[in-house]
Amino acid sequence: MKCVIAGGSGFLGRRLSDELIARGHQVVGLTRGAAREDHGVRFVTWSTSDTPGAWQAEVNGADAVINLAGSGIADKRWTSARKLDLRESRIQATRALVSAIRSATARPSVFLTGSAVGFYGPQDDAGPELDESAPPGSDFMAKLAVDWEAEAHAASALNCRVIIVRTGVVLAREGGALKKLIPPFRFFVGGPIGSGRQALSWIHWRDWVSLIVWLLEQPSASGVYNGTAPHPATNAEFSRALGAALRRPSWLPVPGVALKILVGEMAGPALLAGQRVIPHRAQEEGFSFHFPDIMSAMADAVR
């Protein structure tokens, strides 16, 4: 199977590419940088503008197109310009890929795109469990996810199996949330954020990769799937697991007010609120998690 991955040079894209190659698939990565070969992946320069490029030829005849493109949600403070970049980097990339699929004479059979559990909006600490049928929220992240997914759904009219994965916090020491959280814990200043009672929906990177490959290889898989582990953790439980994995205390709380001063608007939906998201469809259809609980998942992720 030939897989074209936008965002393939990110920490999740690299892990996914490695697994696909190990399974005998061909991987072509779409990059903003120069074309190159890297660890079995052939990277091709691409752009989300309307200008034709060689990358569209890679989509023509591919078996699967995977969209992981988009600026990092927690990489920078949410200024007006940054929020616009978060939107446009996702909307434009998805629109460009769907356009390339539409123009292809030999269209891919599957288009898999990322989304986020932010779709559901921030919930109260004792909020309900949310499966894929739950309605969207109304905050910035929820509206972004709704519009992002709408662009992907357009590929359904192209005789293409569309899969949308709403991913939670991915546990991997070299990227995402853990990359930022590990240093303070190592210096004995780690602990729960805010009340610590807010739910955090997470997934080990190995399970995330396995889920993506499983969805690609299941001919019946289509629609929305939650990319989260079966057992969400509270922020306090998440902190205890990280402290235990690093053999560090996890008692020093980070006050919500201080966090809002430090990181601004992002603190609310990304850190101080949460969602209790469960992977109902994946489990119902037979996917098995290697790391269903936070303690074993965290111990492996930071090892």
**Residue 155 CA from chain centroid, whole number:** 20
For residue 36, is pLDDT > 60? yes
What string of DSSP letters covers 150-191? HHHHGGGGGT-EEEEEEE-EEE-TTSHHHHHHHHHHHTT---
- In angstroms, the first-to-last Cα distance of the chain is 32
Q: What is the pLDDT, as a whole number, of residue 9?
A: 85
Tokens 């909020």 -> residue: 127
Taking a C-beta distance cutoff of 8 angstroms, is the pair 132, 185 a contact?
no
Q: What is the pLDDT, as a whole number, of residue 49?
A: 82
Q: What is the pLDDT, as a whole number, of residue 75?
A: 77
Which residues have C-beta within 8 Å of that of residue 24, sequence separation ≥ 6? none
For residue 174, is pLDDT > 90? no
Of 21-25, 123-127, 230-234, the least confident: 123-127
Q: What is the pLDDT, as a whole number, of residue 271?
A: 59
Q: What is the pLDDT, as a whole number, of residue 270?
A: 55
Q: Report the percent of the chain where pLDDT is more than 90.
A: 69
Q: Report how far apart, in Å, the C-alpha atoms of 200 and of each of 67, 130, 189, 214 are.
A: 24, 12, 20, 24
Mean per-residue pLDDT over the chain, rounded: 90
For residue 287, is pLDDT > 90? yes
Q: What is the pLDDT, as a whole number, of residue 188?
A: 83
Please give the structure tokens belonging to residue 135: 């309605």
For residue 167, is pLDDT > 70? yes
**Residues 203, 205, 207, 210: is their CA dihedral positive or negative?**
positive
Of the candidates 179, 158, 175, the one whose C-alpha atom is nearest the C-alpha of residue 209 is 175
* DSSP state, residue 128: P
Which residues have C-beta within 8 Å of that of residue 278, sequence separation ≥ 6? 129, 130, 131, 226, 228, 230, 232
Number of neighbours of residue 273 by Cβ within 10 angstroms:
21
Q: Report how far apart, in Å, the C-alpha atoms of 199 and of each of 8, 19, 127 are.
A: 29, 30, 8
- Average of per-residue pLDDT across 100-117: 96
Tokens 């953790």 -> residue: 233
For residue 103, is pLDDT > 80? yes
Q: With bands split at pLDDT 50, 70 and 90, how would you rate the model's confidence at 257?
A: low
Task: Note every long-range contact of 40-49, with CB atoms under 8 Å and residues 24 or more positions apart, other chains counting.
Answer: 41/8, 41/17, 43/8, 43/9, 46/6, 46/96, 47/96, 48/92, 48/93, 48/95, 48/96, 49/96
For residue 218, is pLDDT > 70? yes
For residue 176, is pLDDT > 90? no
Q: Work out the angle at residue 162's Cα, subtended by the Cα atoms of residues 160 and 168, and round it to the nearest 5 degrees.
A: 160
Of the candidates 111, 107, 104, the one whose C-alpha atom is nearest the C-alpha of residue 161 is 111
For residue 114, is pLDDT > 70? yes
Alpha carbon distance 58, 152 (integer Å) = 19
Of the candidates 101, 99, 15, the one whose C-alpha atom is nearest the C-alpha of residue 59 is 101
For residue 278, is pLDDT > 70? yes
Dump pLDDT digits (tens) for 40-58.
Answer: 999 999 999 877 788 999 9
Dump pLDDT digits (tens) for 7-35.
Answer: 988 889 999 999 999 999 999 999 988 88
Query: Domain 2-301: which topology?
Result: Rossmann fold (3.40.50)
Q: With bands split at pLDDT 50, 70 and 90, how would you rate the model's confidence at 266?
A: low
| Range 130-166 burial, b when 16+ CB lie within 10 A, else e | bbbebeebeebbbbbbeebbebbbbbeeeebbbbbbb
